[in-house]
Amino acid sequence: MDIGVLAPEIKSERRVRDAAPTRRVLVVAIMVSMVAFLDGTAVNLALPATQRDLGGGLALQQWVVDGYLLALGATILPGGSIADLFGRIPMMRFGLATFGTGLLLAATADSPAMLISGRVIQGVGGAFLVPGSLAMINSAFDRADRPAAIGSWTAWTASAFALGPLLGGLAVDFLSWRWIYVLSAIPMVIGFALTFRLCPMPGPPERPRVDIAGAALSATGLAALVYGLIASHRRGWDDPLVIASTALGAAALLGFVAWERRTPHPMLPLGLFATRNFAGANLVTAFVYGALTMGSLAIALYTQEVAGYSATVAGLATLPSPVMSFLFARRIGGLAARIGPRIFVTTGPLLAGFGLLLIRPSAHGFNILTQLLPGMIVLACGLVLTITPLTALNLSAVDPAHSGIAAAIQNAVGRLSALVAVASVGLIAACNFTNASFARLLPVSAVLFFIGAVISGVTITNALPRRAAT
């Protein structure tokens, strides 16, 4: 990476730190991230009502979710790199404006095609939101204060994640499915307005050199790979389209790595992965988020489809995690900054895995208070020990000039591992959700957590990060 290109960005980031109170930066980052979290958790509850209104059958319901994920997966790495080059605040505004355009299309959709188009546009905008907000925190806060700030970000966004289903259910039952998108617009408008309270970041005096070939290869590779994973749910892994899409994605990503190794101005400086903590944090992210997705999906399906509880009760059973995050995430972030992240990102996944093993299905009646809630509390304790230190570790391992791409990489890794986990649920459950299949899924999820803990113990260090080569 050309240092001359990065110098204006670094100076601009220092202006943000000097001229804008860090609390204001944190508020903006939280509001921006809440846009994505509220929308992502509320939309699923609106799918039946959406299908009844617009038609389109199951295909519409699937693509309302998959269209967003596909666009997000394809653009998240280019989005992080572009934000590093052109400035986090201007690109965050672009992401919010794009996301808002998608919200408007979705809220006023009169056909399945219009709704899906809106969701795709939302996915493109979303690629600049969560990674961009984390990158802004990384640039605005000093290294000692950064984990606590990320802890506050985690606590509030986890609360939004928990409120999403509740607000979505109320909107669908008492208003309309279209209000799902209206509600998501509220934090978007507030966040967009608040960005103007921050010090503007002037454009670099020299024209940034954008790695167009790298962006095209990464977008093609991620889009094809994500599509293959999504299509495998419906078509199976032996379907020719799934095989071709997955092969194309793998080939494009290999081509992306080869290109980034030889281009003088790479979108993704591969030297980042030479930093032990950065490589370790992303490897741990893959296993932790895969385990969390598989375990959460298994619990949600089992409590409703087998145990017979309502969606509301099943949703309430997930509250220990956001409650624990809201109460303790900032404190855990501060502790991790003082004593180092290694103990947290090692013991946290271990505790989360043991929490899943405490949950036991029963053919003679499943009591959600005695057979589910204790395990969910232990799982929540493990997650609150893991998520904030892991996110802070990923960002602190790189130079602030690379914060955008670093956050984008971790988000891409987490989402891809989640998609693989979802695709694997059907295989492990043998397409038949019973007490027996639930009993198979939870140990597999626990093992993924345990592997993440082992990787943390082997790769993560508490030493000050060595800046990656550029």
Give pLDDT tens digits for 59-96: 676 677 777 877 877 777 777 777 767 777 888 888 88
CA distance linking residue 413 with residue 417, whole number of Å: 6
Residue ranges in 302-434 assigned as alpha helix (H): 311-316, 320-339, 342-358, 373-396, 403-429
Residue in the block written with tokens 């089992």 = 302
The terminus-to-terminus CA distance of the chain in angstroms comes to 5
- φ/ψ region of 79 (left if φ > 0, alpha if ψ in -120 to 50, else beta) reads alpha
Give pLDDT, residue 1: 40
Residue 450 pLDDT class (50, 70, 90 cuts): very high
Give pLDDT, residue 460: 85
Return the amino acid letter for 262: R
340 vs 207, more confident: 340
Q: What is the DSSP string of 426-452?
A: HHHHTT--SHHHHHHHHHHHHHHHHHH
Residue 36 pLDDT class (50, 70, 90 cuts): confident
250-299 pLDDT, tens digit per residue, is 898 899 888 878 887 777 777 778 788 888 888 999 999 889 888 887 78
259 vs 397, more confident: 259
CA distance linking residue 363 with residue 366, whole number of Å: 7
Q: Which residue, 291, 287, 467, is CA-closest to 395?
A: 467
pLDDT-wise least confident of 239-243, 345-349, 354-358, 362-366: 362-366
CA distance linking residue 409 with residue 394, whole number of Å: 9
Q: Whole-model pTM? A: 0.74
Is the pLDDT at 4 greater than 70, yes or no? Answer: no
Q: Average pLDDT in the 215-244 region?
A: 79
CA distance linking residue 152 with residue 147, whole number of Å: 9
Give pLDDT, residue 26: 81
